[in-house]
Amino acid sequence: MDAISVWFGISSIFLAFVLFKPVNKSIYVQRVRRAEAKLKRDMTEIERKELEKKTVPMSAIIVIIFAVLFNGVIMGKYFK
């Protein structure tokens, strides 16, 4: 393993970690608004907690894929 590979892994993990909370929150808000519009009523706390649990895996997948692709483009541009 060379230094670039290690740096790629560390920076990808760090970027995914930093982006997780805002991405999770925005996806959660969008899903709550969509569900409330569909139901035509406010959601209960239990329904919101259940919906929040469902957004975590989706957010994790999105930020991990984005972080790896973003770092691949940046590192490919500057370190080739």
Report pLDDT for 79: 72
Cβ atoms of 16 and 65 within 8 Å: the answer is: no
In this predicted structure, what is the pLDDT of residue 60? 97
Domain that holds residue 16: 3-78
| pLDDT on residue 80 | 64
Q: Which residue has tokens 């080739």?
A: 80
Q: Shortest CA distance to 27 belongs to which of 60, 71, 69?
A: 60
> pTM of the predicted model, to two decimals?
0.86
Each of the 80 residues of the chain gets a pLDDT tens digit; together they read 788 889 999 999 999 999 999 999 999 999 999 999 999 999 999 999 999 999 999 999 999 999 999 999 998 877 76
As for how many domains the chain has, the answer is 1
Q: Are 28 and 54 in contact (CB under 8 A)?
A: no
